[in-house]
Chain A
């Protein structure tokens, strides 16, 4: 059952959104809030439920339960769709028509002026090939046409699902710059991706989805958490005792000869002093530096995709327990 959840500051409000396919739960009681004017990153591994969620927000799929509102109207309603530009998964157009003619078809459906077609084609740098049949386009060109189609209505909300798929590195950089540019002003962008760098570069806020549920939400900095002092030593248990007793230190964890030292503020502890104390006790210090979890390691930990990237156990890195920290982030 879908009902409106209206909040003028929020462009998208989804509450307890759930989609089941028999025994399979594709989206599980998802709460999602996207604020007006922000670029929101929807980050999750393949199969996490990102596209299913976006389809529900566009009215392509009906939720099994939960409520959602898009621009103050029911998902998929004319009131909502008239203000939403979208590209879901692979762009789909008529293969026998040119890129330009495909946009003419959509312009007639949306009521957008046909003069807008030239503008959006230029915006995505596709004007030179616009009159070629869509079936001759490379995947990157198809992506560009998909974004052009999404922009046709000059929408208040842009929903883009993996928009850099199939683009070469230069194309990816251009597309990211374009999305960032499109997200300025009042326009809101909801960007789905599994690429950490993309989300990190483009998005104001990030929601991480895993197994159909939102497991964290906040800015990139909030998700990465505070910095800690990383010290690689030869006698970790002794070193831990020494460092734990120092002024300003709030917690110390040890893992395979590496200490992670946390403080209330970075200025509360002095790395040179700690180094001196350890060396004075005859402990060899091999490495000492400020460290912060990468978004990738946070992502892998949150989504349960261990075995890649940073293998430092997150619960150790954050003495209060990582999930507790994330719950706090969720309410930022």
Chain B
């Protein structure tokens, strides 16, 4: 039984690894993190100039800050990418008709679904590691170029940030899975998911600073809890930034954020599994 479970997860990883879209999202995630956190700030703010070296932005480009800098991408574009990954992993099965193929094999629907979720969870590990690796390399390059001595953050903070990043990606992937199951496809799920991720939660969170009764609602938003989680670990991005990635609160405690995020994973995947189990496969 256990061996079959391992086999099921391994073939899910095998088929996800052979999907071009998985690699496109992986590359997009790494590229976006590099571009928004290092390339743009370095070029636009000219932090390498003598005046720029005095600014706080220059300090953020140094290796001792790469964990705090890179963590800020998880609640924003990291979430959107994880959502798309979740939608594609589950929603494509409806488009290809492969649910019927898998559900007429030996294991039950819940086991098949669980194998897919485990595979997504495993795939998200390299996604989480990737941006920190990119941050380490990019910040080292900036330090070398600017002739600054390299100092690294503590190993514990790196591991904690990776775990927090994984949790945030997992929540958004679970949102994608749920939307894919509800809409039985990919297109509408991605559209709705991105609209919710980038627009609805952001706007409501912004208004919650002016409308008091919105604040308790905004406190349980994925976005608010994800930003709160990385902020508790020392992330510097988001709160002070402008543009679509900006987030000015409300914030909750790190513990509350972690609990809420874990609950979201369980609830979203639970509803998805329940729907998949009881619906007809047509």
Q: Give residues in A with beta carbon < 8 Å to B.
A: 55, 58-62, 76, 78, 81-82, 84, 86, 88-97, 101, 104-106, 108-111, 149, 153
- B21–chain A nearest beta-carbon distance, Å: 9
Docked-complex contact A109 and B107, CB < 8 angstroms: yes
Known contacts A106-B101, A149-B101: A101-B18 contact under CB 8 Å: yes
A104 and B15 alpha carbons, distance in the complex (Å): 10
| A97: B residues at CB distance < 8 A | 15, 18
Main secondary structure of the interface of A (DSSP, over half): loop
1/0 contact string of B78-118 vs chain A (CB within 8 Å): 00000000000000000011101111111110001000000
Docked-complex contact A109 and B106, CB < 8 angstroms: yes
Docked-complex contact A108 and B104, CB < 8 angstroms: no
A93 and B282 alpha carbons, distance in the complex (Å): 15
Which among A81, A84, A94, A108 is the interface contact of B8 at CB below 8 angstroms?
A108
Docked-complex contact B8 and A96, CB < 8 angstroms: no
User: Which residue of chain A has its CB nearest to the CB of B12?
Assistant: A105
A76 and B106 alpha carbons, distance in the complex (Å): 9
Which among B18, B19, B103 is the interface contact of A60 at CB below 8 angstroms?
B103
- Interface membership of B4, Cβ < 8 A: yes
| B106: A residues at CB distance < 8 A | 78, 81-82, 109-111, 153
Supply 22 A–B pairs (Cβ within 8 Å), ascending by A: A58-B104, A59-B103, A60-B281, A61-B282, A78-B106, A78-B107, A78-B108, A82-B106, A88-B100, A89-B97, A91-B101, A92-B97, A92-B100, A93-B101, A94-B18, A101-B14, A101-B18, A105-B11, A108-B8, A109-B11, A109-B112, A111-B7
Docked-complex contact B104 and A81, CB < 8 angstroms: yes
Docked-complex contact A106 and B18, CB < 8 angstroms: no
User: Which residue of chain A has its CB nearest to the CB of B19?
Assistant: A96
User: Which residue of chain B has its CB nearest to the CB of A92?
Assistant: B97
The B145-167 residues at the A interface (CB cut-off 8 A) are none
User: Which residue of chain B has its CB nearest to the CB of A105?
Assistant: B11
| B281: A residues at CB distance < 8 A | 55, 60-61
- Interface membership of B240, Cβ < 8 A: no
- B120–chain A nearest beta-carbon distance, Å: 16
A230 and B11 alpha carbons, distance in the complex (Å): 63
A61 and B4 alpha carbons, distance in the complex (Å): 25
| B112: A residues at CB distance < 8 A | 109
Which among A55, A62, A92, A101 is the interface contact of B101 at CB below 8 angstroms?
A92
A129 and B33 alpha carbons, distance in the complex (Å): 41
Which among B4, B97, B102 is the interface contact of A90 at CB below 8 angstroms?
B97
A95 and B10 alpha carbons, distance in the complex (Å): 18
Docked-complex contact B20 and A96, CB < 8 angstroms: yes
| A91: B residues at CB distance < 8 A | 101
Docked-complex contact A94 and B104, CB < 8 angstroms: no
- Interface membership of B242, Cβ < 8 A: no
| A62: B residues at CB distance < 8 A | 280
1/0 contact string of B20-43 vs chain A (CB within 8 Å): 100000000000000000000000
Known contacts A88-B104, A104-B11: A94-B280 contact under CB 8 Å: no
Docked-complex contact B18 and A96, CB < 8 angstroms: yes
- A167–chain B nearest beta-carbon distance, Å: 19
A111 and B8 alpha carbons, distance in the complex (Å): 10
- B17–chain A nearest beta-carbon distance, Å: 10
- A102–chain B nearest beta-carbon distance, Å: 9
A93 and B4 alpha carbons, distance in the complex (Å): 20
A86 and B98 alpha carbons, distance in the complex (Å): 13
- A24–chain B nearest beta-carbon distance, Å: 13
Docked-complex contact B14 and A105, CB < 8 angstroms: yes
User: Which residue of chain B has its CB nearest to the CB of A152?
Assistant: B105
A95 and B96 alpha carbons, distance in the complex (Å): 8
| B4: A residues at CB distance < 8 A | 108, 111
- B101–chain A nearest beta-carbon distance, Å: 5
- B85–chain A nearest beta-carbon distance, Å: 15
Docked-complex contact B97 and A94, CB < 8 angstroms: no
A104 and B102 alpha carbons, distance in the complex (Å): 12
User: Which residue of chain B has its CB nearest to the CB of A56?
Assistant: B280
- B95–chain A nearest beta-carbon distance, Å: 10
- List the 9 closest pairs (A to B, CB-CB), nearest first: A92-B97, A108-B7, A109-B105, A60-B281, A108-B11, A61-B280, A105-B11, A110-B105, A110-B106
A78 and B104 alpha carbons, distance in the complex (Å): 9
| A108: B residues at CB distance < 8 A | 4, 7-8, 10-11
A93 and B97 alpha carbons, distance in the complex (Å): 7
- A253–chain B nearest beta-carbon distance, Å: 45
Which among A60, A90, A96, A111 is the interface contact of B104 at CB below 8 angstroms?
A60
| A82: B residues at CB distance < 8 A | 106
Task: Pick from A91, A96, A106, A149 the residue with the most CB of B within 10 Å.
Answer: A96
| A94: B residues at CB distance < 8 A | 15, 18, 96, 98
- A10–chain B nearest beta-carbon distance, Å: 21
User: Which residue of chain A has its CB nearest to the CB of B102?
Assistant: A109
Docked-complex contact A106 and B103, CB < 8 angstroms: no
| B102: A residues at CB distance < 8 A | 106, 109
User: Which residue of chain A has its CB nearest to the CB of B4?
Assistant: A111
Which among B20, B97, B105 is the interface contact of A106 at CB below 8 angstroms?
B105
| A153: B residues at CB distance < 8 A | 106
A305 and B4 alpha carbons, distance in the complex (Å): 49
